[in-house]
Amino acid sequence: MSNAIGKGKLEKRGVGLKLYGLLIFVFLYVPLCVVLVFSFSPTKTLVGMSGVTAKWYKELVQDQELLKALLHSFEVGISAVLIALLFGTSGAFFITKVRFPGKGLFRALVMLPFVLPGIIMGLTLLIFIKNLNITLSMFTIMMGHVSFTTPIVMFQVSARLQRMGPNFQLAAQDLGATPFKTFWYVTLPMIRTALIGAALLAFTVSFDEIVISYFLTGTWMTLPVYLYGMLRFGLSPKVYAVSGLILVFSFSLILLMTRYIGRSSEEVLVKR
């Protein structure tokens, strides 16, 4: 009897958790669905909406300045991610292979550019760049993005290095492999998925960044900064269209990240 009562309580608790999870998903994703619906609405509101249209997407394609800003976002994101992969991977090997006093403090300081509010980082970088008399351009925005994408790559890769341990590299060296061959044939294949996942995550964060980009931009604007400027002069339906495209693009990147982040290094080695 007591077992039946306990089972009934567990079932009720499970239903309650499912409803709670459903409410969270509704709260998070209904606004995104509304944006998609607005992007196909013939009017600027849902009131009196009859049918669907793709005219806002057509106007979006004809807006050369917006397309230029979109291209700028891709250029900054890809450039920042490539640099972050170089710096972040090197830093990951450093913090996992080298022992030194204050290592915990160093790890915390590395995370600061990612943890600090964007307005603090943007203002700090702007003051630093102005003191060096560097003109605001793509280069300044890119370096601003490198500051917070590098920690993402570093800690993704370092987590993978810590899980795989040193045994594989030691075995390769015992068999006569040089440090370069050990890295190329053993370590790199085992951290490959971590590198891909970190790159996708870093690019997603870079593509959506607005606060740091706003401080470091001049006449060379990324898409988020350009959209913010559009919103200051009224809400254009083209914003819905570009938001819909970004939503689909971001969702695709998330699907790719779920494929690569979290896969074990042993699984990758077996597949090779």
Per-residue pLDDT tens for 243-260? 888 888 877 777 776 766
At residue 272 the predicted structure's pLDDT band, cuts being 50, 70 and 90, is very low
In whole angstroms, what is the distance from residue 206 CA to residue 212 CA? 10
Q: Which region among 59-63, 219-223, 235-239 has the lowest average model confidence (pLDDT)?
A: 235-239
| Burial of residue 87 (number of CB atoms within 10 Å: 0-12, 13-18, 19+) | middle
CA-based Rg of the chain, rounded to a whole angstrom? 24
Nearest Cα residue to 205 out of 145, 116, 133: 145
In whole angstroms, what is the distance from residue 27 CA to residue 39 CA? 20
Residue 83 predicted with pLDDT over 90: yes
Q: What pLDDT, on the 0 to 100 scale, is given for residue 264? A: 42
For range 120-144, the mean pLDDT: 89
At residue 17 the predicted structure's pLDDT band, cuts being 50, 70 and 90, is confident
Over the chain, what is the mean pLDDT?
80
Q: What pLDDT, on the 0 to 100 scale, is given for residue 44? A: 63
Tens of pLDDT along 151-174?
Answer: 999 988 888 888 877 777 778 777
Percent of the chain with pLDDT over 90: 11
How distant, in Å, are the alpha carbons of 39, 75, 146, 200, 250 from that of 82? Answer: 33, 11, 9, 11, 19
Task: Let me know: does 38 contact 46? Beta carbons within 8 Å.
Answer: yes
DSSP label at residue 136:
P
Residue 268 predicted with pLDDT over 60: no
Token pair 């370590």 is at which residue?
187
For range 55-81, the mean pLDDT: 87
